[in-house]
Amino acid sequence: MRKIYWYNSFTAAVFAVTIIGCNQSETNKTTETDTTILAPQKSYLSQPLVSNIYTADPSAHVFNGRIYIYPSHDTATGTPENDNGDHFNMMDYHILSMDSVGGKVTDHGVALHIKDIPWAGRQLWAPDAAYANDRYYLYFPVKDKQDIFRMGVATSLKPGGPFVAEKEPIKGSYSIDPTVFKDKDGSFYMYFGGIWGGQLQRWNNNKYDSAGKLRQANEQAILPRIAKLNKDMKGFSGEVKEIQLLDKNGQLFTEKDSDKRFFEAAWMHQYKGKYYFSYSTGDTHNICYAIGDNPYGPFTYAGIILKPVDGWTNHHSIIEFKGKWFLFYHDVQLSGKTHLRNVKVTELNYNEDGSIQTVEAFE
């Protein structure tokens, strides 16, 4: 197997000059082909917001004129890696905040620990937050003691926490990656779901099947979910529903459309009266978006927001702040390891027709 080493441009130039000099002075010697590939240093579009801890899955919100980011907290627990993501073995949440993009980032410390969630078993995955009823709500997926992902909710009087978890999961909830969206009429909706390790393939008609399997190439792709929240923000006001994601011809995606179909990491925002549902395609590593006319959809595929980054996963959020739009995401620049990620942010731009300009993770 070839070994690949990354150098900065200066080192590469010095190395190249040295090799040329040696070749010129030893032209009569036979040399073997070097199996080491010399490549230029990657030039990242943006830099990690913090480096004191590993962070991922950033859900960003503007509260009280300040940006608050609710990420996963990656830790090296030594859990063996597998396809179900057991090595993403998060134990707590840290909340980050900043007055401006590019400004100083504050780590508010541990906002919620798994040991303080009575019903939790393992793996605190990607959270989100909302403000209503004069308090802040932290929504999170965690496996219960039967190893099934459920959604929990915790509350605080401060956006930076600490948060106190409810004693039971949200009734009727399942899978992972909750994002909570406030519509213009004041209603709140939770979008969620993740296939593979996120267990969404085990749920049909809101019933759990432990033997549920991933879809085959020609089968309809698994759809994300939506549920309207009660006014107390601690439960669903009705049944969980599927969200239709359509191609430009109005057809549902099949599993073989893996560069466009939903995998995980739902997010919802509005722009010029339209609803933008965005998500990760997972194993093809795109952040895509689809546009609709109401919170329930259907949503028609519109393109790629962010192309693949360093690392297997990606998970994003989109906010407007002081007249500009920003995309939060993660990669593995700091560690190079799939399960030790770092949160980033870059500006997001729209075209006149409302389409989003695709972002490249590298310059």
**Catalytic (active-site) positions:** 57, 264
Write the CA distances from 290 to 48, 219, 309, 332, integer angstroms.
Answer: 28, 21, 20, 27
Report the 10 Å Cβ neighbour count for 186.
8
Q: What Rg, from alpha-carbon coordinates, does the chain have?
A: 22
Place of tokens 């509005």: 270
CB 84 within 8 A of CB 57: no
Across 44-82, b (16+ Cβ under 10 Å) vs e yields bbbebbbeeebbbbbbbbeeeebbbbbbbbbbeeeeeee
Q: What is the DSSP-derived secondary structure letter of residue 79?
A: P
Of the chain, the end-to-end C-alpha distance in Å amounts to 28
* Burial annotation 235-251 (CB, 10 A radius, 16+ → b, else e): bbeeebebbbbbeeeee
Place of tokens 């627990």: 77
Tell me the three state secondary structure of residue 115. helix
CA distance 324 to 349: 8
Cα-based angle 228, 190, 178 (whole degrees, multiple of 5): 155
Q: What is the number of other CB atoms lying within 10 angstroms of the CB of residue 138?
A: 27
Residue 148 corresponds to which tokens in the numbers above? 């099934």
Collapse the DSSP code of 332 into the 3-class scheme (helix H, G, I; strand E, B; otherwise coil) and give the result: coil
Residues 6+ apart with CB under 8 A from 16: 38
- Name, in order, each residue with C-beta under 8 angstroms of 173's C-beta and a sequence gap of 6 or more: 150, 151, 192, 227, 236, 240
Tokens of 93: 């949440």
